[in-house]
Structure 1
Amino acid sequence: MGAKILLVKLSSLGDVVHTLPVVQDILAARPGAQIDWVVEQAFAPLLSPLLASGHVQRVIPCELRRWRKAPLAAATRAEWRIFKQQLQAVPYDAVIDLQGLTKSAVVARLARLAPGGKRYALANQTEGSAYEAPTRWVADVAITMAPHIHAMQRGRELCARALGYTLPPVPDFGLKVPPTLMGRAQAAPETIAFVHGTSRADKQWPLENWITLGRQLMAQGYRIALPHGSANELATSQAIAAALNVDDEHHSDERGSAIVWPRLQLDALTQHLSQCAGVIGVDSGLSHIAVALDLPHVQIYNFDTAWRTGPLPDPAGSGLQRQRSVFAQPTPSVQTVWDAWLSCQPLPAQVSEWAPLP
């Protein structure tokens, strides 16, 4: 019987995505390990592929964000009791708090340890990341990390040092394109997803830039897909699609059309993204999913923080950078994003005929 390990990474979407490689790291070093994961309910569907593959045994959902709004409500108390029962159903050899916040420290403290089991956590704040002291107080072993470190590497190193193994050089997110999608019809127009939505307005890219870029891609025969996760994002998707489809109404075969996807749960949205030829997006959780899927991807930054959350430099040494980040203030130009897009994918034979943007 392998070691029983509990990972505590509750939110947000990008943070959960950056933690995915931890699962594959542990299984490579400790075959037979049984891994459970505590996560906010909203992000639990992202872990469905890991459940289906057996790489994660249990996903334990919580709704701490909602519960804190009405802590004394009868529904909250009932749901909290169920959560505690699920959390304490298994004694763990290692509980690893990857969040570094009071809320994750509470979850780690409530988890049940097996005889000789230990709780592990971060001993310090790293640059650009939130940190609260209770995570260190609750831990049996608090591990000091380099202050300047990528968010994904921080979690991977924390687990490697807690469990005593050497990190594989290339992260494996465990999100694979379903085999049924590998043979999709090549005659269909290839789709580029535009991830324009983000939780912060100052991370957004101007609407007119998306429209200009969409026109350039549609001129090469691509279809543009527009996901959304809120009413405001839906309105932006519809505005982009309307502008692009007015330009493209002469395409009776739908080549180059812009489509607004329905609002999807994360597991379905991940599958939709996996069918795309690439993704162009702002710094957001969906952009990080594109990286996890190993899609050609350009990530747009209005702040110089790509070193902490953006695509890593080519880890395999292949010489092809499939994902790139671009940064400028107040925001990168369309030409900069276009040039990055061309450089992050195997280029088709007709690339020499592609005209640069005006």
Structure 2
Amino acid sequence: MKLLIVKLSSLGDVVHAMPAVQDIRHFWPDAQIDWVVERSFAPLLQRCDGLSRVIECELRRWRKSPLSSETRQAWRAFKAELQRDRYDAVIDLQGLSKSALIAWLARLAPGGQRFGLANQTEGSSYEAPARWVADVALRIEPHCHAVARSRELCAQALGYALPTFMSFGLLAPVRIAQAAINMQVVDAAGPKGTVALVHGTSRVDKQWPLDHWHSLGQRLNAAGYAVALPHGNDAEQQTAEQIAKGLAHAVVWPRLGLDALSDALAGCAGVVGVDSGLSHIAVALDLPHVQIYNFDTAWRTGPLHRAHQCSVFAQPTPSVDAVWTAWLTVRAAR
């Protein structure tokens, strides 16, 4: 059986769809499962156990200059790669016009079908063309977690009952890929290891106050943990450097790609972070993790059913005491 998953973005959404791959492999261990994704997220999927091919696209970039020769050439190359195989099932897990286009372009094997969402679920984007393109549009319970959304769609499409276990299948070696960061972490490490503080997010209203991060870092240092501060852009780097000031054991990591960053997180004793793609990677790596929410949306995107992972919600934002208590709880559960 050859299957194609279409889930292009964003980082957190891609992570949330990974358990569906493990479900499919549980029932069809020999299935060829390919996945179409935005190129920037492909390094993470290269670490997803059970994927045969990760087909990269750059729709976000191509639509900025759709008529340029570079875009036309890149589109032809992508289309050729996409249509290299014929699929028994093409499953659009995104439910948007752009993902529906990719699903429509993919080639089907004789008897193959395209599956998609018949309805919008709470808090998720949805566009009607996704339903029109699908040969079979499947209804999902509107009030559901983002992970359940993808798992249930695949289960309905392929006709199996969801397994009782859940795995993201994210393979990241417990090492830090770059020598420079390795030396920094060794120099800064506390006796209990390193805790990564994921402070960066694309939405300002999801951020946690700077002084809260600094206070949390002090408590972690006092408890024997070093603090690591990842970042993805200049603004986040400045914030990381501000948090690190005055902490006895803190290191601002160099800017890393998703593959090296996943490896680096895998070597940590745990992660505390805001609702962001990196925090969802921490969940997928099965690390002790506290996820910070300024909105009551953890039911939809937060950690699921694991004693060593939890979310903390309060408005306007959770207190340092609440996050610290949650950290002590998840570490004890681990």
Using the size of structure 1 for normalisation, the TM-score is 0.88
Identity across the alignment (%): 65
Supply the distance in 2 between the matched residues of 1:125 and 1:76 (Cα, whole angstroms).
31
Whole-Å separation in 2 of the counterparts to 1:222 and 1:302: 26
Larger radius of gyration between Structure 1 and Structure 2: 1
Q: In 1, distance between residues paired with 2:47 and 2:204? A: 31
Q: 1:102 aligns with which of 97, 105, 110?
A: 97
- Does 2:22 align with 1:24? yes
| 2:47/2:172 contact within 8 Å kept | no
Matched residue, 1:43: 41
* 1:69 partnered with 2:61: no
What's the counterpart of residue 32 of structure 2? Answer: 34
For residue 178 of structure 1, report the CA deviation from its aligned partner: 2.4
Task: Tell me what 1:345 maps to.
Answer: 331
Cα 1:92–1:242 change in 2 (3 A) is same
2:215 maps to 1:215: no
Please give the residue correspondences for 1:1-358 in structure 2 after superposition, counting only pairs within 5 Å.
Answer: 3-50=1-48, 55-178=50-173, 190-244=193-247, 248=248, 257-314=249-306, 321-346=307-332
Opposite residue 56 of structure 1, the aligned amino acid is L
Structure 1 residue identity aligned to 2:312: V
Offset of residue 180 of structure 1: 6.7
Could you give the per-residue CA deviations for residues 127-153 of structure 1, whole angstroms, max 9, x where no partner exists? 010000000000000000101000000
Kindly provide the amino acid, as one letter, of the partner of residue 281 in structure 2: I
| Runs of 4+ in structure 1 over 2 Å off | 176-181, 185-189
User: Is contact 2:116-2:136 (8 Å) kept?
Assistant: yes
Separation in 2, partners of 1:142, 1:286: 31
How far residue 313 of structure 1 moved from its aligned partner, in angstroms, is 2.3
User: In the alignment, is the contact (CA less than 8 A) between 2:4 and 2:87 conserved in 1?
Assistant: yes
Distance 2:172 2:93 in 1: 27
Equivalent-residue separation in structure 1 for 2:322 and 2:287 (angstroms): 19
Distance 2:246 2:213 in 1: 10
**Aligned pairs, how many?**
324
TM-score (norm 2): 0.94
SS of residue in 2 equivalent to 1:58? strand
Q: How many angstroms does 1:30 deviate by?
A: 1.0
- Distance change >3 Å, CA 201–CA 71, structure 1 → 2: same
Could you tell me how far 1:325 is from its partner in structure 2? 0.3
Gaps of at least 5 residues in structure 2 are 177-185
Tell me: CA distance 1:11–1:347, structure 2 relative to 1, closer, same or farther (3 Å).
closer
**Per-residue deviation, 1:347:** 6.9
In the aligned structure 2, how far is the partner of 1:179 from the partner of 1:341?
21
